[in-house]
Amino acid sequence: MLKESIFIVNQLNKEPFLKNLTFPSFEALSPLMLLEVLNEVLTEIQPKYTEIIQDKTDEERVQEMINLLSMLEYEPIKECCDLQAIREGLDTNDKVVIYPILFWLLQDVSTLKRKAYLSQFTCEIEVPEFLHHDETLYIYSNKQKEQIQKFQQTFVMYEDLQPLSVSKNNAVVENRTMQNNKCSLLKQKEMLHKELESLVKSPDILLKASRQLRLERERAKLVARQTTEQEEQLSQAQKRVSELEEQTKGHLVAELEKMRKEVDALQKLAEMPVVTAAQLLEMKTKFKM
């Protein structure tokens, strides 16, 4: 029963039930709450089930539940395996009976929903054996069987056509999208056509644009030429500055050397006790040199 319980919890947490249960919380459900879960699953399979059991006594409710499970071909009921125990378990909301039912129902809800839907139109009316000799009843019974068979065939054809219907709808949507795109492209084409027409009808616009383009190109060439000339002038100026720096440096060195000699001579003169006229003349001559 553990595996069954885990499976039931997982299925009840999915669409369309979305119970948000855990295994402990499911196990802790009271008998009444467990019955509500079973009723919800049965209602999902047979939408009229809630309406059917409304205002029913417990005994009638149990019978309706057994009828629905029998119609869905629930194996234990179909084979009448201890039907009384199932009836009592449903009456007391016993998990020993309800868990297996939930486990079976939740394995393939969509198929059971289909079966429940078809059962509304394919349920044959049982004619008591003692009335089999009644010709009118016999004719109507056969007609009913024929109608049921036709309905089943029609329903199968309907199901087979469903994918085609979806494909057709998709094709319609795609075609509508293509038509919208086509309209959009046609509008763009029309706008471009009008623009071209306006240009052809107004040659002055083209001439003005051409003249403007030529002026822009000439201006660009002039700027490029001026830039080149400025770069050449800058290079020449830098070269001239370097030459002047070298010349200035040489001149300063010569001047400094001359001043150093004068200072040395004056120093010697200051150190001499008496300076004769001849010595003074000699020093002047050296300074001039």
Question: Cβ distance 4 to 103 under 8 Å?
Answer: yes
The region of weakest confidence among 25-29, 64-68, 190-194 is 190-194
Q: Look at 30 and 175; give whichever has higher pLDDT.
A: 30
Query: Which two structure tokens, joined as six digits, stand for 67?
Result: 């009828």
The structural domains of the chain, with segments of one domain joined by +, span 1-123, 219-288
The region of weakest confidence among 48-52, 118-122, 135-139, 252-256 is 252-256
In the prediction, which pLDDT does 100 show?
94
Q: What is the pLDDT of residues 71-82, one digit of tens each?
A: 999 988 877 667
The pTM (predicted TM-score) of the whole model is 0.52
In the prediction, which pLDDT does 111 show?
93
Contacts of 77 by beta carbon, 8 Å cutoff, 6+ apart:
66, 69, 70, 83, 86
Mean of per-residue pLDDT scores for the chain: 79
Q: What is the pLDDT of residues 185-203, one digit of tens each?
A: 667 767 766 665 565 555 5
Assess if CATH 1.10.3720.10 describes domain 1-123: no
Please state, in angstroms and rounded to a whole number, the distance separating the CA atoms of residues 272 and 278: 14
For residue 166, pLDDT over 60 is answered with: no
